[in-house]
């Protein structure tokens, strides 16, 4: 996702530069003067955690104690409607209602004693955390001057997310599994390109989200005690149709 994000940003810059070389007939000339308009978005996301270890993280004196934990991001997708309100020539207020599906895996490494040669022996355990988010992003959009049928923009705001999967009963076969607190508020920033077609506006967008609160719910097991702080992050690649 990070490599794809860099590729998209470079593509935006190249596209704007090429199309600024000549004047073209503009599509949807009165589009930006309308007070509001609506649409929908679809896209992909990559979710992961930022982990801060607890103070006794590397205490491996006992068999079965956690020695290390790593985060493995996975790719999901999202979909939802868009409401856009014009605030001025260069500013819009955007309110979305998204449904997102994501998965984040925690890889635990447990101390299992020593080998015959005296080296420590470790066992690993993968904990899969699947999420179904209902999201309520409220974003401020800053638009550049329109060049023919293109307009570059920046976007920032806050996003309140509720994970529906966090409250469901965990099956015995999936235990042990840590719990995630709800809801969470994310700070978001991104950029995109408005492309005005004959009948609608198409906008590819890349957005970065970082959670503002500790999401770990302590249950006094070794899996939660090994973590002091768990913050959620997400990269979203969206395709808007308005």
CA–CA separation, 131 and 100 (whole Å): 8
Listed in sequence order, the residues at least 6 apart from 1 whose beta carbon sits closer than 8 Å to its beta carbon are: 44, 46, 73, 75, 235, 237
Q: Is there a domain that residue 28 lies in? A: no
> Residue 31 domain-assigned?
no
- Report the candidate in 183, 231, 182 with the shortest Cα–Cα distance to residue 209: 231
Report yes or no on 27 lying in a domain.
Answer: no
Structure tokens at 11: 């593509």
- Domain annotation covers residue 173: yes
Residue 1 has pLDDT above 80, yes or no: no
- Model confidence band, residue 228 (pLDDT cutoffs 50, 70, 90): confident
Residue pLDDT, tens place only, 152-194? 999 999 999 998 887 777 766 667 778 888 889 999 999 999 9
**Looking at the predicted structure, is the pLDDT value of residue 116 above 70?**
no
- Contact present, 213 and 183 (Cβ < 8 Å): no
Given a contact cutoff of 8 angstroms between Cβ atoms, the answer to whether 76 and 101 are in contact is: yes
Rounded distance, CA 89 to CA 240, Å?
Answer: 20
In this prediction, what percent of the chain has a pLDDT beyond 90?
41
pTM: 0.81
pLDDT of residue 242: 94
Structural domain includes residue 41: no
In a domain, 185, yes or no: yes
Instruction: List the beta bridge partners of residue 46.
Output: 75, 235
| Residue 12 belongs to some domain of the structure | yes
- Report how far residue 196's alpha carbon sits from residue 32's, in angstroms, rounded to the nearest whole number: 10
Mean of per-residue pLDDT scores for the chain: 83
CATH classification of the domain holding 161: 2.40.128
pLDDT value for 178? 81
What are the helix (H) ranges across the chain?
A: 2-19, 222-225
Does a structural domain hold residue 38? no
Would you say 193 and 153 are in contact if contact means Cβ atoms under 8 Å apart? yes
Whether the Cβ atoms of residue 217 and residue 197 lie closer than 8 Å to each other: no
* Share above pLDDT 70 across residues of the chain, in percent, rounded to a whole number: 79
pLDDT in tens, 43-68: 999 998 888 877 665 555 566 677 77
Query: Coil, strand, or helix at residue 171?
Result: coil
At 60 the pLDDT is 55
Higher-scoring residue by pLDDT: 222, 80 = 80
Q: Which domain holds residue 200?
A: 2-18+46-241
106 vs 143, residue with greater confidence: 143
Question: Residues 21-31: what's their mean pLDDT?
Answer: 73
Task: Give the per-residue pLDDT at 63.
Answer: 60
- The structure tokens listed for 170 are 């965990």
The angle subtended at Cα 83 by Cα 80 and Cα 84, nearest 5°, is: 135
Type and span of the H or E element at 70 = strand 66-86
pLDDT at 20 > cutoff 60: no
Report the domain count for the chain: 1
The first and second tokens of residue 182, run together, are: 């709800």
73 CB neighbour count, 10 Å cutoff: 19
């Amino acid at each position: 996702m990070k490599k794809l994000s860099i590729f998209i940003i470079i593509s935006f810059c190249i596209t704007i530069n090429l199309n600024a070389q000549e004047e073209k007939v503009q599509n949807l000339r009165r589009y930006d003067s309308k007070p509001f308009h609506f649409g929908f978005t679809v896209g992909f996301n990559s979710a992961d955690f930022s982990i801060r270890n607890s103070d006794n993280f590397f205490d491996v004196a006992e068999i079965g104690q956690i020695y290390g934990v790593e985060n493995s991001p996975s790719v999901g997708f999202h979909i939802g409607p868009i409401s856009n309100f014009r605030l001025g020539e260069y500013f819009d207020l955007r309110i979305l209602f998204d449904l997102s599906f994501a998965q984040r895996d925690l890889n635990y490494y447990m101390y299992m004693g020593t080998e015959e040669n005296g080296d420590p022996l470790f066992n690993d355990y993968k904990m899969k955390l699947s999420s179904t988010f209902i999201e309520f992003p409220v974003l401020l959009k800053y638009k550049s001057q329109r060049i023919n049928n293109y307009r570059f923009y920046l976007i920032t705001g806050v996003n309140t997310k509720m994970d529906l999967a966090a409250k469901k009963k965990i099956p015995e076969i999936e235990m042990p599994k840590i719990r995630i607190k709800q809801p969470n508020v994310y700070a978001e920033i991104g950029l995109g390109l408005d492309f005005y077609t004959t009948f609608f506006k198409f906008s590819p967008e890349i957005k970065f989200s970082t959670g503002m609160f500790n999401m770990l719910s302590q249950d006094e097991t070794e899996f939660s005690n090994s973590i002091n702080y768990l913050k959620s992050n997400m990269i979203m690649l969206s395709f808007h149709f308005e």
